Amino acid sequence: MKLILLGPPGAGKGTQAEVLTKQFGIETISTGVMLRAAMREGTELGKLAKQYIDEGKLVPDDVVVGIVKDRLSQDDCKNGFILDGFPRTIAQAEALTASGVEIDKVLSLEVDDEVIVERLTGRRECKACGTPYHIKNKPVPANGKCVCGGEIIQRADDNEETIRNRIKVYHEQTEPIKEYYESQGKVVSVDSSGSVDQTNAAVSKALGLVK
Ligand code: AMP
């Protein structure tokens, strides 16, 4: 299965990816997680990405396409993968196609903008492994640490001003991707405005994992 998770920030891509990765036994490739790791390590890539991420803007296409191509060429992606947060522009989708990657399905998670703002302001994340948490919907374990033992933090770009900018960027630059893949008959849409369990049930049905 070569699956793209499409949807605005806060639609639950990371949360659904966490479940699907186990169900399918394939890796999730999250460009956001990779870029934040580079930022923490202070690499050249991280320094470049920070300028864009902190303002809720997209990192340039050539940079992101480069890291995704490298990652997809690794052995653990041979039997399939889940892409979370990539492609985010038509140019990235075209670059993926041009690199010879045949996507099977695009799962589009649909949710209203105001629900997103509420979700993202309450979102927390493991600094080490990227596992998502939420102050209301998926509370941090009692010891305050992630299941992997990592520290749980609030992302710097999960503040309201940056969130609204990321939503605007999504509508302008990422949403057109849906049409790109719809024309190839690959899109399945799921309402993700409900709880994690409700969305997960709808996702399983949409992907044909349950009847
Ligand atoms: P995410 O964790 O997917 O919400 O991504 C966080 C931030 O990383 C985004 O707001 C962008 O600044 C950057 N980013 C992640 N993926 C991409 C991508 N495919 N193209 C450009 N920028 C990206």
CA distance 69 to 2: 14
Extended strands (E) in 10-110? 27-30, 81-84, 105-110
Whole-number pLDDT of residue 198:
94
Report the atom number in ligand 1 closest to the C-alpha of 56.
Answer: 10
* Active-site residue flag, 13: yes
Choosing from 57, 155, 164, 186, the catalytic residue is 155
Whole-number pLDDT of residue 211:
72
- With a cut of 70, list the residues of the chain below it in pLDDT: none
- As beta bridge partners, residue 27 has 81
Q: Give this prediction's pTM.
A: 0.90
Single-letter amino acid code for the residue at 173: Q
What's the gap in Å between 169 CA and the centre of ligand 1?
Answer: 10
Report the atom number in ligand 1 closest to the C-alpha of 86.
Answer: 19
Give yes or no for a contact between 190 and 199, defined as CB atoms under 8 angstroms apart: yes
* Active-site residue flag, 166: yes
CA proximity to 147, closest of 16, 13, 18: 18
Whole-number pLDDT of residue 46:
97
Single-letter amino acid code for the residue at 67: I
Unique residue bearing structure tokens 């080490």: 128
* Active-site residue flag, 123: yes
What's the gap in Å between 53 CA and the centre of ligand 1?
Answer: 7
Helix axes 44-53, 31-41, angle to 10 degrees: 120
* Active-site residue flag, 40: no
Whole-number pLDDT of residue 143:
94
Report the atom number in ligand 1 closest to the C-alpha of 85.
Answer: 3
- The binding-site residues of ligand 1, defined as CB within 6 angstroms of any ligand atom, are 9, 31-32, 35, 52-53, 56-59, 64, 85-86, 88, 92, 157, 166
CA distance 48 to 45: 5
Q: Is 24 exposed, middle or buried (0-12, 13-18, 19+ CB in 10 A)?
A: middle
What's the gap in Å between 58 CA and the centre of ligand 1?
Answer: 6
Whole-number pLDDT of residue 209:
84
Whole-number pLDDT of residue 59:
98
Single-letter amino acid code for the residue at 111: V
CA distance 72 to 178: 22
